Each structure stands twice: as structure tokens, then as C-alpha cells.
Homo-oligomer: A and B are copies of this chain.
Amino acid sequence: MKKHNFSAGPAILPADVFSQAAEAVQDLNGIGLSVLEISHRSPEFVAVLEEAVALPKELLQIPDTHEVLYLTGGASSQFFMTAMNLLPHHGKAAYLDTGSWSTKAIKEAKLFGAVEVLASSKDKNYAYIPKDYTVPLDATYLHYTSNNTIFGTQYQQLPAADIPLVCDMSSDIFSRPIDVSRFAVIYAGAQKNLGPAGTTLVIVNKDLLGKVEREIPTMLDYRTHIKKNSSFNTPPVFPIYVSMLTLRWIKEQGGLAEMAQNNEAKAKLVYDAIDRNPLFQGTAAREDRSRMNATFVANDPEVETAFLQACQEANIAGIKGHRSIGGFRASIYNAMPTESIEVLVELMDHFAQKHG
């Protein structure tokens, strides 16, 4: 019996992607070899990688100034790699602090130059997106986290700024269209909207590279991976393969406008259930609510325990909230079917009636 998987990441992928991936682990496209045992220089994998690069270009309408890379090390490695590659030693970078991941990005950037934190929502346990700040024009870039997986907030628009943006989009990339031309770097750990854990998508404006003087180890220099099409060394073949399958699925569904519309509709189902049942309370400011991670609490700890138990009985997995906020978190990425959300919402209504 397949579970309804509301996990924040690694997270649900389309059912077809699981089937295709399982088949390829036995035999890739009938070539008599598993996708796990083919050379990364083989024509079969080169074709996979080319498609995995072409699809983001098409879906996000990425301009020619930008390259699409598949790296490893997670968004956590991009926290320092962005600064290492972009921030001159005597330069300054601007950061917006909207939660744990922003905080970590800020910490790592400080190793490479001056960091100015323009605004933070830490005062309210990151329950909102700060909107009142001035972006210094002498900063090299403005870094932000587009969706805050833990705190359930999300930027509804790109921050207003006259300098290039750098963004951790780990948990909402490919969930809606974005204007890539505004970004120096977009990075995203695959394991939410893109694929399994083990690869990190990086979209980088190559015109902004090569402007720092520090010596960068070969593997940490974006230019290495641009020059070698993400195959300077052996790339994570299977995570890239599965990401490619997911991107194909997104395209088949109609692309990012369609994704955004579905995500809007799916999020509305969850937030409406939160708002109509006084037993539950949303934790994020309404105007900043994430379409990817709906966070909510119950009005007492016993109810929380009982609801978690009820979820388990209803085959709902991964709904427990992060320890820094408690309660519940329904992660409803692209691949989450409306049917699973309906199961959750019905349970919430039913539970609220019974315990309300």
C-alpha cells in the first residue's frame, strides 16, 4: 500500500518517475546495462545529461548568459561556493535572513568578504518575509532563500534590487516561472522538486565569474564545471538521471505555468482546511505562506499527538513539523497528487469535528 508522502525532502517524486527509474536500475533503455554501471562518458549518459541541461533551459527560459550545472555537495556547499566564486576579498554581499538556511548561507559567506544582513524575520521565529530594506548598490549580489522549508514562508515576488540576485531555490525551483536573467546564481538541492538527494542544480551567469582574485580549488570553481559540462569528474549519474525524468514529467504536465497553477490550487486546499478548522492554526504570515510547505500547529499538545496518530492510520507520512517550529508541515511539492491532499484535508476536517 503506497503512502501519502508529505515529507519535506527527500520528497515525493512522480509515480511514473519511480517506475522508470526502477526499470533503468535493471536495464537502461534495453541496452543490457544498468544505469548504475554505465560510464559517465558513454553516449547513453551523455544523452541523459544533455537532456537534463536542456529541459531547465526550456522550462525556465534561461537566457544564453546562463549555464546549467549539476554538481554535488547540496545547497550547503553552495552557501560558500557562491561567495567564493563571486565575492571579491574587499567586496560586500547583501543577505536577507528568513530562516535556518539563510543563516547558514550568511555564516559561510563571511569567510570570503563583508556581509551585510539587510533584514531578518528572526524576531518572529521567521514567520514572515521581511519587506522593508534598502539594497546597497555597492554590494556584489543580494542573496535570499526563496522558500523556507522549515518555517513555511515563501517570497511571492523576486526581491526588488538593482544588483544581481543569488538564490537558494532548493525547495521551490520548477514550482513556478521565474525571471532567470535577474540572477547571478540560482542553486537548488535536487531532493525536493527535482529528484533524489545527491545532485545540486546550479544556474549561473557566466559573465559574472572570474572577477575574484583568490585561488579556488578546481572542483569549487564554477568555471571548471562549465568548461567540462558538469563532467570534469564522475557526476552523480543516477540522481541526474532521475532529475531528468522528473523534468520530462514537468514538461509533459504543461510546464511551469501549469505547475504554478496546480501548486496554487493544491496549497489552497490545505490552507483552507487550516483556516476553517479552529483546531489548527497556520504559523506563517498569510501573505507569505509557502505553496510548497504548509506549516500549522494544533491548539494543544494532546491534540497534536492524536492527529499525528490519525495521520499514521490514514497512511499519511512525513507530516510532523520541524523541531524548530513544532506541529505539522504538509510538504506539497510539484509531484504531490491532489488526491493525497484530499485525504489529508478530509482527515483534518473529520478530526476537527471530532475533537473541536
A5: chain B residues within 8 A (beta carbon): 33, 37
Pairwise interchain contact A39-B219, C-beta atoms closer than 8 A: no
Pairwise interchain contact A37-B12, C-beta atoms closer than 8 A: yes
A1: chain B residues within 8 A (beta carbon): 32
Give, as a whole number of angstroms, the nearest-CB distance from A26 to chain B.
5
How many Å lie between the Cα of A279 and that of B32 in the bound state?
29
Given contact pairs A76-B219, A76-B233, A198-B238, A37 touches B25 in the complex (Cβ within 8 A): no
Pairwise interchain contact A219-B18, C-beta atoms closer than 8 A: no
Pairwise interchain contact A237-B37, C-beta atoms closer than 8 A: no
Pairwise interchain contact A197-B73, C-beta atoms closer than 8 A: no
CB within 8 Å of B: which of A156-209?
Answer: 189, 191, 195-199
Let me know if A141 is at the binding interface, CB within 8 A. Answer: no
Let me know if A317 is at the binding interface, CB within 8 A. Answer: yes
A220: chain B residues within 8 A (beta carbon): 80
Q: Which residue of B lies closest to A195 (CB)?
A: B36
Q: How many residues of A contact B (CB 8 A)?
A: 66
Which of A9, A26, A27, A40 has the most B CB atoms < 10 Å from its CB?
Answer: A26
Pairwise interchain contact B34-A13, C-beta atoms closer than 8 A: yes
Q: Which residue of B lies closest to A36 (CB)?
A: B196
A74: chain B residues within 8 A (beta carbon): 72, 219, 233-234
Let me know if A133 is at the binding interface, CB within 8 A. Answer: no
Q: Which residue of B lies closest to A315 (CB)?
A: B32
C-beta contact mask, A65-101 vs B, less than 8 Å → 1, else 0?
Answer: 0000000111111011000100000000000000000
Pairwise interchain contact A218-B76, C-beta atoms closer than 8 A: yes
How many Å lie between the Cα of A79 and that of B21 in the bound state?
32
A interface residues (Cβ-Cβ under 8 A, vs B): 1-3, 5, 7-13, 18-19, 21-23, 25-27, 31-34, 36-40, 42, 72-77, 79-80, 84, 104, 107-108, 111, 189, 191, 195-199, 215, 217-220, 232-239, 242, 315, 317-318
Given contact pairs A3-B32, A25-B25, A237 touches B197 in the complex (Cβ within 8 A): yes
Q: Which residue of B lies closest to A34 (CB)?
A: B18
Pairwise interchain contact B73-A219, C-beta atoms closer than 8 A: yes
Given contact pairs A233-B74, A235-B197, A2 touches B32 in the complex (Cβ within 8 A): yes
How many Å lie between the Cα of A107 and that of B215 in the bound state?
12
Pairwise interchain contact B25-A10, C-beta atoms closer than 8 A: no
How many Å lie between the Cα of A318 and that of B32 in the bound state?
12
